[in-house]
Amino acid sequence: MSKMRLYNTLTRKIEEFKPQDPKRVTIYTCGPTVYSAPHIGNFAAYVYWDLLIRTLKLNGYTPYRVLNLTDVGHLTSDGDEGEDKLEKGARQSGKSVWEVAEYYAGLFLRDYKALNLTPPNVIAKATDYIPQDLKLVQTLIDKGYAYETQDGIYYDTSKFSHYADFARLNLENLKAGARVEFSSEKRNPSDFALWKFIRSGEKHDMRWDFLGRPGYPGWHLECSTIIHTELGEPIDIHTGGVDHIPVHHTNEIAQSEAAFDKQLSRYWLHCNHLTSEGQKLSKSLGNSYTLSELKEKGYSPLDFKMWVLQGHYRSERDFSIEGLEAARVRRLNWRNRVARCYQEEKQETHAQAEEYSVSVSEILEGLNDDLNSAKVFALIDGAKSTNIFFWIFIENIFGLGLFGGQEKNNTLYMKKFVKNINTVMNTYNKSINTFCDNLIKNQNIYLKNLRNTDKLILPLLNERSIARAKKDFAESDKLRDELKKYNLTVLDTPDGQFWQYIN
Ligand SMILES: [Zn+2]
C-alpha cells in the first residue's frame, strides 16, 4: 500500500509523511475567534482537517489533536492595531465579553458536531493559558527577543534570523512599504505584539497584570503557548488557512523557536479559502452563509460537507447555491445506493456482494495522495458493484451521514460482513486490518437507522405487493403516496420493490 503524502508548506513540496512516533501523531489546528456566528467559509477548513484525521487513522496512526478557541486578543487588523474582536462583539451585542465568547464557542461546537467532524482531543481556550503566556513572554524578554514600548511588549523580528523563511517574505520590501504615519515605537515593520498594555480609560474587560500594568495577550501568543503546554515541540502537523502563512504562523514560529530552541512543527498544511463569484467569502463582505441559513434553504450541513470534500483543500473553491444543490443530489444518490444495498442484501438478491469494482486500496491511494477526496468521490460514483460494507467503509472515512444518524445496537449481519471483508483484506496491510476490525465491531451503529426505516415501511410495502398482485393500482398508488410522509418512495424492479429517499 502507498504511504501517505502531504504538501508541506515548509518545503513547498509534496513529501512522504513520517511522524516522529510510529503510531501517535500530534496535530495542532488554529481554531476560530469566537466573536460572531461561524460561517461556511470558516467551516470548510475544519472539514478538510477532519479528512486529514480520518486518513491518518486509516493509515494506522493514532492522531492526538489540539484545537484552540481564541476568546481574547484577536485585533480587527493584522498589524496590532484596531479593536479586540471579542470586545467589539461585546460592545455591539450589549453582553459581557465572557458571555460573547461562551455563546459563540457554543455555536461553533454545535455546528462542528452537525458536520460529523471528529472531536479534537483537547479544545483549548486562550484565556485558560494566561500564566503560561506570561512565562513565554518573560522567556523572550530574558533571551533578548522582546522589548517594551508604551503600547506593549513587542517581538524584535530582526533578532530571529529565519523570520522571513517560512512565508518567503521580502523584509526589505516590507520596510519600504511601511506606512509613513507609522508612529509606534516598533523597531521593525514586521515586529508584532506579544502583549498589549491597556491604556488608562481604554475599555478592555479581559485584563491581566504584567509588569505592573493591566494588559492582554497578542493574538499569536496563545498558539505557541498551547502547543508548548499540550503537545510539546516539535509537533508533527500544524494546520491552518493560507492567510495564516505570512503573519500568524510566521510569528508563531518566531516565538516558539526563539523561546524553546526547537522546531515548532515538522509539517505545515494550509487550506485555501472559499470564494463567491471570485471574492473571498467573509462575514465582513456579507457574501457568506451560516449552516443555519443553509438549513433554511433546505440543505443539510452534510450536503455542505459533501460540497467541500468534492474539491481539494489546496485549491481556491468558488461557492454557489447551484454547486451546493449538485452536491445535495450526489449525496442523496449515495444514500439511496446505501439503502438499496441494505435491502438487497437483506433479501439476498445481491449475488455479487463480494466483488467490488473499486478496491479499498484504490480509495486509500487517492486519500494518501495529499488527501485527494475528489479523486475518491469519482471512484465511488463509478463503482458498479458495492455492498453494505463498502459503504460503511466510505461513511467511516467521510462521515457524510449516508446511514441516517448514528446509534448503538446489536449484531445481525456479522458473519456475512466478515466473509466480505476477508476478500477485501487480501489487498491491504495490517493497519487497515485493525481499522476494519473496528468497523465490523461497530457496524450496527451504522445499520440501526436503515433497520428502523425498513421495519416501519415493511407493512406498507407488503400491502402494496398484494394490491399490485390483485392489479388494484388505485390502492397501490395510494400506498405509494403514504410513503411520502416518511420522505420515501418506492421503486418497482424485476427483483421486487425497494424503498428509497425522496430527499
Ligand atoms: Zn494559531
Domains and CATH numbers, the chain: 5-294 (3.40.50.620), 321-501 (no CATH)
C-alpha 28 – ligand 1 centre gap (Å):
8
Contact 225, 128 (CB under 8 A): no
- The set of long-range contacts for 415-424, using a CB threshold of 8 Å and a minimum separation of 24, is 416/345, 416/353, 417/388, 417/389, 417/443, 419/354, 420/353, 420/354, 420/387, 420/389, 421/389, 423/354, 423/355, 424/356, 424/359, 424/360, 424/389
- φ/ψ of residue 212, rounded to 5: 75, 10
C-alpha 252 – ligand 1 centre gap (Å):
7
C-alpha 376 – ligand 1 centre gap (Å):
30
C-alpha 119 – ligand 1 centre gap (Å):
18
List the shell of residues around ion ligand 1, using CB closer than 5 Å. 30, 223
List, in order, residues 6 or more apart from 163 with CB less than 8 Å away. Answer: 157, 169, 171, 190, 250, 254
- φ/ψ of residue 213, rounded to 5: -135, 150
Rg (CA), the chain: 27
C-alpha 110 – ligand 1 centre gap (Å):
22
Q: How far apart are CA 35 and CA 97, in angstroms?
A: 9
Kind and range of the H or E element at 87? helix 85-93
Q: How far apart are CA 65 and CA 28, in angstroms?
A: 6
C-alpha 484 – ligand 1 centre gap (Å):
48
C-alpha 500 – ligand 1 centre gap (Å):
45
Q: Give the 3-state secondary structure of residue 117.
A: coil
- Beta-ladder partners of 239: 29, 269
DSSP string, 436-471: HHHHHHHHHHHHHHHHHHHHHHHHHHHHHHHHHHTT
Closest CA to 40 of 30, 48, 29, 51: 48
List, in order, residues 6 or more apart from 176 with CB less than 8 Å away. Answer: none
Our CA dihedral for 231, 196, 246, 143, rounded to 10 degrees, sits at -60
Count of Cβ atoms closer than 10 Å to residue 168 Cβ? 10
C-alpha 379 – ligand 1 centre gap (Å):
35
Q: How far apart are CA 267 and CA 236, in angstroms?
A: 6
Count of Cβ atoms closer than 10 Å to residue 442 Cβ? 13
Q: How far apart are CA 473 and CA 459, in angstroms?
A: 17
Q: Give 173: exposed, middle or buried? Use CB within 10 Å, 0-12, 13-18, 19+.
A: exposed
Amino acid letter, residue 89: G
pLDDT of 411 reads: 30
End-to-end CA distance of the chain: 37
C-alpha 91 – ligand 1 centre gap (Å):
25
C-alpha 359 – ligand 1 centre gap (Å):
38
Mean pLDDT by 10-residue block, N- to C-terminus, for the chain (503 residues)?
90 97 96 89 95 91 93 75 79 82 88 89 92 97 96 95 89 61 74 92 88 93 97 98 94 97 98 89 81 95 97 95 97 93 72 59 91 95 83 88 55 37 46 68 80 89 91 91 90 88 90
C-alpha 225 – ligand 1 centre gap (Å):
10
C-alpha 37 – ligand 1 centre gap (Å):
19
C-alpha 15 – ligand 1 centre gap (Å):
23
Q: How far apart are CA 224 and CA 66, in angstroms?
A: 12
C-alpha 248 – ligand 1 centre gap (Å):
6
Contact 360, 432 (CB under 8 A): yes
C-alpha 253 – ligand 1 centre gap (Å):
10
List, in order, residues 6 or more apart from 259 with CB less than 8 Å away. Answer: 136, 139, 140, 143, 145, 224, 228
Contact 54, 399 (CB under 8 A): yes
CA contacts within 13 A on the Cβ side of 297: 16
pLDDT of 178 reads: 56
Q: Give the 3-state secondary structure of residue 340.
A: helix
C-alpha 22 – ligand 1 centre gap (Å):
26
Contact 450, 338 (CB under 8 A): yes
